Amino acid sequence: MKILTVQHAIPTRAISNEWVIGALREHNRTHLSPDQLDLMERRVNHFFEAAGTRVRYGLKAGEKAIDFALDAGRRAMTAAGVSPHDVDFVIYVGVGRGWTEPAMANVVQSQLGLENATCFDVIDACASWLRALHIAHTYIRSGVYRCGMIVNCECGFVTYNDWHLDSLDDLEHRAAGWTVGEAATATVVNDDDPNDGCYFVFRNFGEDFKLCVFPLPMLEQFWVGPPDPRYQPMRLFALSGELLTATARRLIETFSADPHLRDADYDIGFGHEASVKINRMIAKKLELPYDRYVSTHAEFGNTVSATVPLGMSVALAEGRLKRGNKVLVLMGASGITVGVASFTF
């Protein structure tokens, strides 16, 4: 399998840390005291500093999420030199979506004119893109399909923002949502390189699923254990400290236990961008040079399943990602899902 290109499209509204703090102060000034508001601001700023968050982007008035997915798809086909007729399959990945049924991939297939493509969705939180790349690799290696596209559209999350805090205790499970940035990406792959060196490893630790949940209205019908009022439909719940610590430990263990991954030399690396601090710690533990790692968190925030392809698109545009590079992808996601991949670009 050959990755022909990775392209991205970003909403135009830049959202600073100061804007987020201002929104929180405005929505809580009537029921929190001045001292509580000041403490809230210090705690949120500390969280942003630890995560490495500076700016994230979101839809402005008049912008629609799907337009960015389609823009990324068109850019990718142009950059890859493929026509709509060439695409055999479309996989839509990620959390951002307008409905649960049918597959969001159908609207991408229809609007991009990919009439020969079968299409479906893959959802595995922030690991969705890497899961889809593994599936695409399997399809192409089997000879069933020759060319495919992986699309995500992690846009529209501002709809789910709830700035109201019942107490400062809410910061523990709400702060992660304020680091989320929006982005759409499209990846085009084909069968031009049968000796791609692709290698994938996934591990899951489902016992920790409660650490990060984006609940739907039917939550109570699927919840295991006593109800917890902190989990609210259409509001991201994330115990960031516990989630990042547990995920980092398991990611390090997975990489270190695999000689195929551990003993290789990598030209460039990408990973999930929930926390710059955690990523630096993982790189140090794995003895991976951090100057070879592409980080997008400071400029774009946590872009969910778009993080790795966004980083690849940016690295391509900047000339950091080149043909023949040995690539390492480290992914930790809620679930908990741990995924590691290596391949030659």
Mean pLDDT, rounded, for 121-134? 97
Residue 178: inside a domain, yes or no?
no
Q: What share of the chain is helix, strand, coil (3-state, %, to 5)?
A: 45, 20, 35
Residue 190: inside a domain, yes or no?
no
Taken in order 28, 32, 38, 41, the sign of the CA dihedral is negative
Grouping H, G, I as helix, E, B as strand and the rest as coil, residue 224 is: coil
Residue 85: inside a domain, yes or no?
no
Q: What pLDDT does residue 195 have?
A: 80
At residue 202, φ and ψ (nearest 5 deg) are -125, 140
CATH at 213:
3.40.47.10
Residue with tokens 């922030």, as numbered in its chain: 126
Number of domains in the chain: 1
Q: Encoding tokens for residue 118?
A: 């079968």
Residue 129: inside a domain, yes or no?
no
pTM for the predicted model, two decimal places: 0.95
For residue 265, what are the domain limits? 199-344
Residue 92: inside a domain, yes or no?
no
Residue 334: inside a domain, yes or no?
yes
The tens digit of pLDDT for each residue in 291-305 reads: 999 999 999 999 999
The tens digit of pLDDT for each residue in 160-219 reads: 778 999 999 999 999 999 999 999 999 999 999 888 889 999 999 999 999 999 999 999
CB 86 within 8 A of CB 298: no
Residue with tokens 């930790």, as numbered in its chain: 332
Residue 218: inside a domain, yes or no?
yes
CB 53 within 8 A of CB 81: no
Q: How far is CA 68 from CA 28, 105, 283, 309, in A?
A: 33, 14, 32, 14
Residue 228: inside a domain, yes or no?
yes
Please tell me the distance from the alpha carbon of residue 103 to that of residue 120, in angstroms, as a whole number: 5
Residue 228 has pLDDT above 80, yes or no: yes
Nearest residue to 66 via CA among 123, 118, 106: 106
